[in-house]
Structure formats: C-alpha cells, structure tokens
C-alpha cells in the first residue's frame, strides 16, 4: 500500500524537475541564438588601426597630431621584433650560460686556490665571469649579448672590458657598445670580486678601434675629429642591377604631393600608406630619400628641403623589411632603358587617389605612377588608404625605426645615468600659450607647480631626465634643488663638431655638416623618456587639460 501511494508523487516530482530543466535549456538556447544573431565581431583590422590612433586623428582629411612625442615601428610593437631571415642575432647572456662556460673550461685552464692574491690577471676567464655576474646583478634593464676579453686598465688591479648589449625596453635587435673599467679584488676564498665599477665608457683600453676614413686633418679642421664609421650601420643605396632586372621588375611610384613640407608625422603616415600599397600590389616602391622638414622643427622657422631620410630613420632596417629602390637610381635606369630600346617601358598613370589599390591589383604595367596634382587636401598620399582601402592596406609600421645614429645618442645619454633614472615629459611651447584650448597648461607646468607635483611622485635626488619642448634652458632650475636634473642640451657634445654623429652625418651628406634639428631632438627625447624607470606625463599627471584641447578627453 505504501508503494502505491508514493509512486505517483515521485513521478510527478520527476516530471516537474524535467520540465524545469527543459525550460532552462530552451531559455539558454534562445539567449545564445539572440546573441549569435545580434553580435557583430570586431573588425579584424581594428587592432592595427587602434595602434595607429596614437599617431594621428584624421577628420575630413585634416591631419592633426601631437608633435611632442614621436613613435615609430619599434615603439608600436607589443613584443620583441623578430629579425628577418639572414640577420644574425645574439642570445642574451644569463647566469645559466655563465655556469655552462665555467663547466666547459678544464681544471688546467683555471688557476686554483690562492697562488697569488696580489696579482689580477685580466685575461683569466674567471675575471670575465665575475664581471658578467656583476653586470647581470647591477644592470637589470640591459640584455648583455657578448663580451670581449678584458685587458689591463691603468693600475695593476684594474681591468677594462667591452661588451655589446641592448636595452630590454627596446624591442628591436639592434646592438650597442659599452666599455668600462673595473677594480678587481679577492674574496676570502681567493675568488675574484668587483670592488668598483667605472661609469659609462670609462674603460678606454678596451674600446674597439673604429674604422677611420680620410683621417688626415687640415688646419681649418683642427678641432674636428677625423671621420669614423659605425661598422654596424649600412646606409648604402641598393643598386638596381642590369637592364633585364629593371624591365622584369614591377614598380609603384608616387609623385610628390601636398604632404611635402608638412609635419614629419604626416609624412610618415603618408609614406607608410604608399609602402603598404606597394606591398599589397607586390611591387617595389620607388622612394625619394629627400625630405622637406617643416618649419616647426627648423631653427630658421622656415621649411627646409634636402633633408635625408637616413638622418632620421633606419634605412638599413627598411631595406631588410621592404622592397624599395631609390628614386634617382630608378629614373636613371628608366631613361637608360628607353634610350637603348625601341619598346618603351609600360606605364599606367593614376591621377586620382580614388582609384583604389584593388583596382590596380591585376595591372601588368611595369610602372604604376600615382600622380598627386589636385589641390590640397586631395593631393595627400594618405588619401589612397582611406575609405574601403583601409580594409586591406596595412601600414607596415614595423619597417620604420629611428636612425641608429640617433639611437646611439639615446644610448649614450641613458648609459651616462647608468640606466637608473626617472623622467618627466613637459609639453609647453605653443600649447602653453594657447589658453583657449589649454587654459591650465601654462600654470600647471610652471616651475613651482612642477616642483610640488613631482615631489609627490619621484624620490628626491634621483636622476631626473626632463623631455621638453621648452626652449629656455634655465626654466627647470628650481627642480635642481630636489633632483639631479638632466636636459637634452646637457649632452650637446654628442652632436658637436667633435662627435661621431657629426662626422658620420657629414660624410652621409656629401661633406656638408648636418644640423641637429628639432625633429631629431624629439626623436632622442622620446626614446630616453621610454627608457626611464618611472615616467611622468604632462596630460596624465601634471594637468587636467585634455591632450588635444578642450572637450577632447
């Protein structure tokens, strides 16, 4: 009797539970279906466009950008950039590698015990292992790539040693050099130890001799160091080759447009558009190495033509990552072909930027020649990459790095502070004077205000690098009562007429000296700023004004 009365209740309970579960299932399916119908996945190109927003905001073809900070390909990359095929890169030295090197040395190679604790043998491998361990512990922001054998310093217990390295915050594979003097002593068990380490470039005996060119000095150049060559820079222009190579090639050629003599950031935005189209069309880009520097970056306050691309950007890296040919060499070979052959080179002239790259994809002409003869802003190169073209043209930011020569200056400045410094970016200039768009900027970046705000952020008496467009050198003197202040002009010897940069750029410029202009200052300031241990920004830390003016935050 008990079973007959309880069975219907159990069955009903099971039915209720089943119905509830089925209802939940149906409701879940309904929700998922609605989401599937209404969800729009992010544009796969949006991530790359998000990166480029830091460079520009384009409204109705008007280019607006903050010129106080300059970013290029090595700054955009979120991870270390891989070297192209054929480029040899070194593995950073680690404690494990040092231990492995010690194991590989036989007992006969290493001195044992305390045979002579009064003599430091700089060529003893144990000296190098000791210095390597000291550097790993001391300079944690540096990746050490290789060392040369230590040599004697100026005293019996000193050793000079040189090494190649890169800063871990730099995502490229470029290498830099340092050479320092170390005072070596002994521990209680007679092992070597570093008693004192010299500062940046203090170990002159270990410095690798540089390649000198035309080292004979004249009386008029008595104060100028003989020209030298950084053996790790290759600025040579690639040669096109034979007539058949030229005829069989496919080229994309852009005539000068309205971007010429505009701000350098607009130049870069347009140049990478052109380079991106060349890659999309699988063509070699015909490149004009001559740049017009806008008046905002010149000491004359006038546009200056005839600047070389290689003054500002790494031409060697560009050659390794993109197919390019120099415009002058291209024209010479073009004229040579047309003069020697009855059949002329096929050319398609494109006079409207609205002819999209996909319309040119199947064109068989040897040369596609985009001409920009319309009035501004219809003659800007970057117009080619607007609209639907933006879906399939990717700007190859990775192809453009800052000049290795300028990066050598960045390394010198950072190394002179032993890579242990903080930085503040102080934007002033025209923005501080424009009270309509930036009403508080001038007051918020005044000397007294800077002292008050930085004291709450940066530890007193730290090395403080000030990256700024403020032209008055003594403007930051009040900070010197609280910090070891460093300004770019404190290092003007790095581009003086006795510097390696001066000699190398002079040689690159056909013997004429090159001015260290405002754009170069922005490049160097930006990169030193990135290498600081802590960074204070104008529009995020110093003022509540919006970076692009009122109501743009």
CA distances from 76 to 48, 92, 272, 395, 397 (A): 10, 23, 14, 12, 7
| Residue 4 located in a structural domain | no
E-only strand ranges, 441-524: 463-468, 484-487
Reading the block at residue 331, the tokens are 């024209």
CATH of the domain at 133: 3.10.450
- How do residues 164-198 score in pLDDT, each as one tens digit? 999 998 878 889 999 999 999 998 888 899 999 99
| Residue 89 located in a structural domain | no
Number of domains in the chain: 4
Residue 178: enclosing H or E segment and its boundaries? strand 176-186
- How do residues 447-467 score in pLDDT, each as one tens digit? 999 999 999 899 999 999 999
List the one residue out of 305, 324, 313 whose CA is nearest residue 256: 305
pLDDT of 303 over the 60 cut = yes
Residue 349 shares a structural domain with residue 441: no
Q: Is the Cβ–Cβ distance between 381 and 254 less than 8 Å?
A: yes
Of residues 443 and 68, which shows the higher confidence score?
443
> Tokens 């002079």 appear where?
506
- How do residues 120-131 score in pLDDT, each as one tens digit? 899 999 999 999
**Mean pLDDT value across residues 416-431:** 95
List the one residue out of 478, 463, 376 whose CA is nearest residue 421: 463
Residue 479 shares a structural domain with residue 421: yes
Of residues 225 and 79, which shows the higher confidence score?
79
CA distances from 245 to 182, 275, 306, 366 (A): 55, 21, 29, 11
Residue 203 shares a structural domain with residue 137: yes
pLDDT of 96 over the 60 cut = yes
Give the sign of the dihedral formed by CA 57, CA 58, CA 64, CA 70.
positive
Q: What is the DSSP string of 74-139?
A: HHH-SSPPPPPTT---PPPP-HHHHHHHHHHS-TTTS--SSS-TT---TTSHHHHHHHHHHHHHH-
**Mean pLDDT value across residues 232-253:** 81
Q: What is the pLDDT of residue 233?
A: 84
Residue 409 shares a structural domain with residue 513: yes
Give the sign of the dihedral formed by CA 154, CA 157, CA 160, CA 166.
negative
CATH of the domain at 524: 3.40.50
Calpha distance 238→348 (Å, rounded)? 25
What string of H, E and C letters represents the secondary structure of 256-306?
CCCCCCCCHHHHHHHHHHHHHHHHHCCCEEEECCEEEECHHHCCCCCCEEE
**Share of residues in the chain with pLDDT > 90 (%):** 64
Boundary of a domain, candidates 208, 231, 255 = 208
Tell me how many helices (H) and strands (E) the chain has: 17, 20
Count CB atoms within 10 A of the CB of residue 530.
19
Report the mean per-residue pLDDT for the chain.
Answer: 84
Q: What is the pLDDT of residue 328?
A: 92
Calpha distance 512→304 (Å, rounded)? 15
Calpha distance 113→458 (Å, rounded)? 47
| Residue 160 located in a structural domain | yes
Residue 453 shares a structural domain with residue 522: yes
- How do residues 268-288 score in pLDDT, each as one tens digit? 999 999 999 999 999 999 999
- How do residues 100-150 score in pLDDT, each as one tens digit? 888 887 655 555 456 666 688 999 999 999 999 999 999 999 999 999 999
pLDDT band at 52 (very low <50, low <70, confident <90, very high): very low
CA distances from 232 to 104, 105, 210, 413 (A): 31, 31, 11, 20
Coil/strand/helix, residue 340: helix
Q: What is the pLDDT of residue 58?
A: 42
Residue 187 shares a structural domain with residue 291: no
Q: What is the pLDDT of residue 344?
A: 87
How long is the chain?
A: 553
Residue 147 shares a structural domain with residue 293: no
| Residue 53 located in a structural domain | no
Q: How are beta strands 304-308 and 290-293 bridged, if at all?
A: antiparallel
Boundary of a domain, candidates 208, 228, 251 = 208
Residue 276 shares a structural domain with residue 389: yes
| Residue 175 located in a structural domain | yes
| Residue 308 located in a structural domain | yes
Boundary of a domain, candidates 399, 433, 459 = 399
Residue 281 shares a structural domain with residue 168: no
Residue 412 shares a structural domain with residue 395: no
Calpha distance 323→278 (Å, rounded)? 8
| Residue 159 located in a structural domain | yes
Calpha distance 156→271 (Å, rounded)? 56
**Mean pLDDT value across residues 459-484:** 96
Residue 99 shares a structural domain with residue 194: yes
> Which burial class, exposed, middle or buried, applies to 319 when counting CB atoms under 10 A from its CB (0-12, 13-18, 19+)?
middle
Residue 113 shares a structural domain with residue 160: yes
Of residues 34 and 267, which shows the higher confidence score?
267
31: containing domain: 11-40
Q: What is the pLDDT of residue 225?
A: 44
Calpha distance 174→83 (Å, rounded)? 10
**Which residues does residue 367 pair with via DSSP β-bridges, in sequence order?**
251, 347
Give the sign of the dihedral formed by CA 217, CA 220, CA 226, CA 227.
negative
- How do residues 330-384 score in pLDDT, each as one tens digit? 999 999 888 888 888 999 999 999 999 999 999 999 999 999 999 999 999 999 9
């Amino acid at each position: 009797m008990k079973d007959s009365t309880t069975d219907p209740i159990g069955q009903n309970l099971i039915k209720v539970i089943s119905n509830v579960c089925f209802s939940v299932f149906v409701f879940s399916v309904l929700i998922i279906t609605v989401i599937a119908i209404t969800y729009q996945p992010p544009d796969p190109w949006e991530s790359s466009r998000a990166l480029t927003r830091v460079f520009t905001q384009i409204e109705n073809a008007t280019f607006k950008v903050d010129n106080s900070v300059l970013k290029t390909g090595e700054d955009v990359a979120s991870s270390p950039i891989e070297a192209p095929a054929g480029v040899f890169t070194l593995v950073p030295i680690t404690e494990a590698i040092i231990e492995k090197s010690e194991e590989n040395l036989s007992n006969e190679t290493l001195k044992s015990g305390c045979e002579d604790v009064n003599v430091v043998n700089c060529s003893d491998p144990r000296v190098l292992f000791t210095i390597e361990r000291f550097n790993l512990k001391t300079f944690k922001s540096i990746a050490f790539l290789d060392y040369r054998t230590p040599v004697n310093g100026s005293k019996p217990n000193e050793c000079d040693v040189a090494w190649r390295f890169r800063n871990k915050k730099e995502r490229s594979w470029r290498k830099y050099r340092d050479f320092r003097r170390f005072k070596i002593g002994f521990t209680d068990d007679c092992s070597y130890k570093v008693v004192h380490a010299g500062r940046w470039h203090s170990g002159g005996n270990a410095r690798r001799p540089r390649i000198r060119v035309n080292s004979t000095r004249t009386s008029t150049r008595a104060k100028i160091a003989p020209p030298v060559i950084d053996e790790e820079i290759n600025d040579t222009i690639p040669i096109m080759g034979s007539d058949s190579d030229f005829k069989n090639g496919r080229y994309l050629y852009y005539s000068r447009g309205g971007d010429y003599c505009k701000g350098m950031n607009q130049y870069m935005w347009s140049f990478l558009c052109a380079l991106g189209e060349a890659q999309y069309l699988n063509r070699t880009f015909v490149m004009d190495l001559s740049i017009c520097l806008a008046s905002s970056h010149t000491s004359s306050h006038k546009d200056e033509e005839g600047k070389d691309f290689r003054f500002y950007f790494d031409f060697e890296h560009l050659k390794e990552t993109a197919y390019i040919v120099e415009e002058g060499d291209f024209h010479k070979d073009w004229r040579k072909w047309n003069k020697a052959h009855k059949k002329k080179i096929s050319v398609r002239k494109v006079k409207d930027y609205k002819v999209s790259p996909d319309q040119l994809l199947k064109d068989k002409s040897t040369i596609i020649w985009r001409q920009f003869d319309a009035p501004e802003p219809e003659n800007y190169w970057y117009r080619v990459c607007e609209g639907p073209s933006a879906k399939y043209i990717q700007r190859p930011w990775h192809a453009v790095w800052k000049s290795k020569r300028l990066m050598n200056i960045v390394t010198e400045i950072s190394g002179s502070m032993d890579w242990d410094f903080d930085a503040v970016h102080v934007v002033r200039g025209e923005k501080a004077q424009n009270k309509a768009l930036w009403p508080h900027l001038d007051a918020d970046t005044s000397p007294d205000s800077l002292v008050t705000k930085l004291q709450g952020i940066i530890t007193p008496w730290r090395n403080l690098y000030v990256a700024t467009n403020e032209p008055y050198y003594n403007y930051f003197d009040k900070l010197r009562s609280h910090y070891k202040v460093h300004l770019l002009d404190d290092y003007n010897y790095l581009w003086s007429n006795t510097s390696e940069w001066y000699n190398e750029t002079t040689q690159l410029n056909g013997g004429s000296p090159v001015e260290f202009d405002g754009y170069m200052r922005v490049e160097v300031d930006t990169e030193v700023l990135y290498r600081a241990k802590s960074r204070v920004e104008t529009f995020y830390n110093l003022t509540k004004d919006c970076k692009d003016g009122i109501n743009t935050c």
